[in-house]
């Protein structure tokens, strides 16, 4: 069982703000990396989290996200149909087509590479360098 000083409790008391986690961690980073977490959130929450994380990047820093993702909604639908008995309906797997414009509208330069039939890597940086 986690004690009061454990990260989960600190995050809960801090409202989940990355700025308050880790006691000795810096507030600014060159890279923020996430692996297989964001598919737990719908697209609007993904965008809000990314915008919040971007506030912790050094100038020119990047957010790198590897996750369950597909190049478009059609590819996601094909995979959903093929794996329907194992598909977790509570998850929100990325479809790059719909989220890319929202990220770009929020000021991010977006690169994406599909690395498997159901996984990809995003690299996001603020276009303004901040």
Q: Model confidence over 25-84: pLDDT tens digits?
A: 678 899 999 999 999 999 999 999 999 999 999 999 999 999 999 999 999 999 999 999
Query: According to the model, what pLDDT value does residue 20 have?
Result: 52
Query: According to the model, what pLDDT value does residue 129 have?
Result: 58
Nearest Cα residue to 31 out of 61, 56, 53: 61
Q: Model confidence over 77-103: pLDDT tens digits?
A: 999 999 999 999 999 999 999 999 999
Query: According to the model, what pLDDT value does residue 127 have?
Result: 87
Query: According to the model, what pLDDT value does residue 84 have?
Result: 93
Residues 6+ apart with CB under 8 A from 94: 38, 39, 46, 67, 68, 69, 70, 120, 122
Nearest Cα residue to 121 out of 34, 57, 47: 34
H or E element in which residue 73 lies: helix 73-82
Query: According to the model, what pLDDT value does residue 26 have?
Result: 75
Question: Is-contact 73 95, C-beta < 8 A?
Answer: yes
Place of tokens 């995979």: 79
pLDDT confidence of 2, banded at 50, 70, 90? very low
Query: According to the model, what pLDDT value does residue 76 have?
Result: 95
Which tops the pLDDT comparison, 126 or 6?
126
> d(Cα 113, Cα 66) in Å, to the nearest integer?
9
Domain annotation for the chain: domains and CATH numbers: 28-126 (3.40.50.150)
Q: Where are the beta strands (DSSP E) in the chain?
A: 29-35, 57-70, 94-95, 108-116, 119-126
Place of tokens 């990314």: 50
């Amino acid at each position: 069982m986690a004690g009061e000083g454990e990260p989960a409790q600190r995050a809960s008391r801090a409202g989940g703000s990355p700025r308050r986690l880790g006691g000795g961690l810096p507030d600014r980073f060159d890279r923020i990396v996430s692996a297989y977490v964001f598919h737990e959130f719908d697209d609007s929450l993904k965008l809000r989290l990314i915008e919040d994380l971007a506030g912790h990047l050094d100038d020119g820093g990047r957010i790198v996200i590897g996750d369950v993702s597909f190049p478009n909604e059609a590819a996601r639908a094909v995979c959903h149909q093929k794996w329907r008995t194992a598909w977790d309906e509570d998850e929100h797997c990325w479809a790059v087509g719909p989220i890319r414009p929202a990220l770009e509208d929020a000021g991010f330069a977006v690169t994406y590479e599909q690395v498997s039939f159901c996984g990809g890597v995003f690299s996001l940086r603020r276009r303004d360098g901040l």
